Chains A and B, each alone.
Chain A
Amino acid sequence: MTTEALPVPRRRFLRRPIAPTGVWSWITTVDHKRIGLLYGFTAFAFFIIGGLEALAIRTQLARPENALLTGDAYNQAFTMHGITMIFLVVMPLSAAFFNYLLPLQIGARDVAFPRLNALSYWLFLFGGIYLYSSFFLGGAPDGGWFGYEPLGRQLAGHGMDYYATGLIILGLASTISAINLLVTILNMRAPGMTLMRMPVFTWMALVVQFLLVFALPVITVALFQVFFDRTFNTNFYNIANGGDPLLWQHLFWLFGHPEVYILVLPAMGIVSEVLPVFARKPLFGYPVVVFSGIAIGFMGWGVWAHHMFAAGLGPVANSAFALSTMFIAVPTGVKIFNWIATLWKGAIRFTTPLLFAVGFVGLFIIGGLSGVTHAIVPADTQQTDTYYIVAHFHYVLFAGAIFGLFSGIYYWWPKFTGKLLNERLGKTHFWLMFTGANLTFGPMHILGLQGMPRRIYTYARGLGFDFWNLVATIGAFTIALSILVFIVNVMRTRRRGEASGQDPWDARTLEWTTPNPTPEYNFAEIPQVHALDEFWHRKYVEDEHGKVVPVPAGGSNGHDDPAAGHGAGHGGHGIHMPSPSYYPVMTAVGPPLIFWGFLYSPLLIVLGAFILLSGVYGWAVEPASE
């Protein structure tokens, strides 16, 4: 909408911040890299909190008839643990990677809508704070992260109000971000970067944005229904007046199932980047891996009622969803075979990122296999609502997604900071976490099949659950120890970490063509892309024997010819980036205030609405850059 502005000194009365450093520069940033880092730090902080909730749960369950947590406190702990890990950790950690890397991987200077990008982050932060404020204001949500009705509308206190409205705010943040990143990937690729030359991480990100954009509206409606039921006494889930608990389950899981692919596909994308680099081989079957990711995203819409096998849908529905669920295992299996084939006969370097990536593959196989056993309806009737299910989803989400995300953290740390994390500490982290994960969640398969229900705050002596619960708790503390090791690694690296140089891993994709840490404008010249793994092909060719050899020094090998003159290449000087803005952070204050207002005071509603509308208005009239 605005024309390319001439470089004017960024001096503006009050409205437009100018300093490139300092707290205000972070608060008003619209730079995708800084926003990515903000997402990462915030998500990690919530990871610690969610982990402490997990430790509280595991400590309570270490012994039968334990009295560390009352039933009420336990309900809040496990509800918030789930909400935190899903909405405040894994999704934002994935968003951190998307934000930082997607423009770099596609050869762009920023995302399509930088200020909207900032808004997504601030809505996430304020939404998380809003949700957690419940602990101090009468009690946190306690109806499970799945909020089954009609229990959810009946629970006393404000906990479930925070549940409904908190997730509405977070959903808004993710929807806005998804539209932004979707447009970015479709529209802002460097010249020559066709869709089938994009890195797999970018592809998986694209599928995830589609899933978010279509799934979030469904749960948004359901959450508003709960909000209205609790606030205005509507009848959506009022059984006496004709409400139906199954409607909630359908709406929730219509979102909830695509959501689990939203949670795991980014990690799969990361693994698809890391394995080729550390095997020094291209990803085996790139088109097949891409199409499998698309297939998973697409088929993920057809399986949701497998979360409802015990809800009484009847044999026709159950059979149909059992079949679709069995089918969806296929594209995932295909990817696993492709990853293994990537490693096969590769020149493998056992670095920390590789260990986490391989850990992901192996442990996800276990989680995926237990998932396949759920697809068989009679078996699932036995497994459902037991610890067997808890085992399954923790294998795929913790031993799976979190391992994949850590692989990405170690792999891209040099890109974010210009330094390499310590390898010995990294490997210690990996082995401790690998051991801990298996100790914690492995026994849960057994506990579940022995009949231990889930979502219980204690269990009686003499049922035979004692031993494996204790083992699981030891495993949980092992995981905690591994995270401590990681934190120590981060702090040590900050002070005396080894400088990484531009391409420490001898990588394959475009983000590694920029200096580390990345300059504000990303690329001095917008790259011209000729192939998949463009960066690799600039460094290496195959000689007449098919051996990979470095490009001779001075050879262009299709490298950018600055004389070609395309895109916005200005040689790094006078590249005009979007200007920082106050309006995203200001606008984000509105929704939490409004929802607090519904709980405590109409004045807050008015204030929140005023701030929201002023923010939107100011934003609309402010030019994107000056």
Chain B
Amino acid sequence: MSAHGSVGAEVAAVGAHGEQRPHPSVGQYVRVAIILGVVTAGEVGLYYLQAIPDGMLIALLVFFSAIKFSLVALWFMHLRFDSRLLRRLFVTGIILAGSVYAIVLATFLLR
């Protein structure tokens, strides 16, 4: 029985042997790190810009931090190159946490 016999129909794109997408090179990692640094600098800069209204500031900061989060998760944590199952596991945790806690906080605002 080949290895595929042990792999259920629901298995994600990555096969067990050698079919993984190539892992990033050192250069790519460094480039990601540079982007992370630049975005952080941007966030801090935005913080000090008096001209922006609070609502827009919050939206932009959340957006930038989401970018950083994604970069680390997808490249450094290899989620971009690994099985979809792992991405789904992690994203489930994030979405669940985000949703329930958003609702909790909302109930305090909506009395």
The 8 Å CB contact of B110, one of A194, A251, A317, is A317
State in angstroms the CA–CA spacing of A388 and B1 once bound together: 58
**B73-111 at interface with A (beta carbon < 8 Å):** 85, 92-93, 96, 99-100, 104, 107-108, 110-111
With an 8 A cutoff between CB atoms, is B56 at the interface? no
Is there contact, CB below 8 Å, between B104 and A254? yes
Q: Identify B6's interface contact among A191, A254, A301, CB under 8 A.
A: A191
Give bound CA distance, A117 to B10, whole Å. Answer: 27
- Contacts A301-B96, A566-B1 given; does A189 touch B107 at CB 8 Å: no
Our pick among B1, B85, B108, B111 for the contact of A191 (Cβ within 8 Å) is: B1
Task: Pick the contact of B93: A189, A194, A214, A246 (CB < 8 A).
Answer: A214
A246-B108, A250-B107, A317-B110 are known contacts. Are A191 and B96 too (CB-CB below 8 A)?
no
Provide the bound-state CA to CA distance between A189 and B8, in Å: 9
Q: How far is the CB of B49 from chain A (nearest CB, A)?
A: 31
Whether B100 and A192, one on each chain, are in contact in the complex, defined by CB atoms closer than 8 angstroms, is no
Residue contact A528 to B107, C-beta cutoff 8 Å: no
| A193 close to chain B: CB less than 8 A | yes
Chain B residues lying within 8 Å of A312, measured Cβ to Cβ, are: 111
* B9 adjacent to chain A (CB < 8 Å): yes
Count of A-B contacts judged by CB separation below 8 Å: 45
Chain A positions within 8 Å of B5 at CB level: 191-192, 528, 566
* Interface flags, A284-320, vs B, CB<8A=1, else 0: 0000000000000000010011000000111011000
Residues of A within 8 A of B8 (CB): 189, 193-195
Residues of B within 8 A of A (CB-CB), count: 17
- The answer on a CB contact under 8 Å between B1 and A313 is no
**A250 in complex: contacting residue of B92, B99, B104, CB < 8 Å:** B104
Least CB distance from B96 to A in Å reads 6
Contacts of B92 in A (CB 8 A): 214
Check A564 for interface membership: any CB of B closer than 8 A: yes
Count chain A residues whose beta carbon lies closer than 8 angstroms to a beta carbon of B.
26
Q: Are A195 and B6 in contact (CB under 8 A)?
A: no
A residues 364-381 near B (Cβ < 8 Å) are none
For B111, the chain A residues whose CB sits under 8 A away are 312-314
CB-CB < 8 A to A347: which residues of B?
none
Q: Is the CB of B96 within 8 A of A314?
A: no
Q: Which residues of B contact A564 (CB under 8 A)?
A: 1
Closest chain-A Cβ to B39's Cβ sits at a distance in Å of 28
Chain B residue numbers with a CB within 8 Å of A334 are none
Q: Per-residue 0/1 for A562-590: is the Cβ within 8 Å of any B Cβ (1 yes, 0 no)? A: 00111100000000000000000000000
Query: What residues of chain B lie closer than 8 Å to A193, measured between beta carbons?
Result: 8
Interface check A186, CB cutoff 8 A: yes
Pick from B10, B93, B96, B110: contact of A195, CB below 8 A. B10
A205-250 at interface with B (beta carbon < 8 Å): 214, 244, 246, 250
Q: Given A193-B8, A194-B8, A194-B10, A528 and B1 touching (CB < 8 A)?
A: yes
- Give the CA-CA distance A567 to B1 in the complex, in Å: 9
| Closest residue on chain A to residue B99 by CB atoms | A301
CA distance A297 to B21 in the complex (A): 34
Residues of B within 8 A of A214 (CB): 92-93, 96
Task: Report B17-45 CB contacts with A as 1/0, cut-off 8 Å.
Answer: 00000000000000000000000000000
Question: Residues 94-122 of chain A: 1 if any B CB is under 8 Å from the residue's CB, otherwise 0?
Answer: 00000000000000000000000000000
Within the assembled complex, what's the spacing in Å between the Cα atoms of A316 and B108?
A: 11
Task: Find B85's partner among A186, A246, A304, A305 (CB 8 Å cutoff).
Answer: A186
Given contacts A192-B5, A194-B9, A528-B1, contact A301 B100 (CB under 8 A): yes
Interchain CB contact under 8 A, B107 and A305: yes
Which residues from 583 to 625 on chain A have a C-beta closer than 8 Å to any C-beta of chain B? Answer: none
Can you list 8 pairs linking A and B with CB atoms under 8 Å apart? A194-B8, A194-B10, A246-B108, A305-B107, A312-B111, A313-B111, A317-B107, A567-B6
Give A contacts to B, CB under 8 Å: 186, 189, 191-195, 214, 244, 246, 250-251, 254, 301, 304-305, 312-314, 316-317, 528, 564-567
**Interface contacts beyond A194-B10, A305-B107, A566-B1: sample of 9 additional A-B pairs, CB < 8 Å, sorted by A:** A189-B8, A192-B5, A194-B9, A195-B8, A246-B107, A254-B104, A304-B100, A314-B111, A317-B110
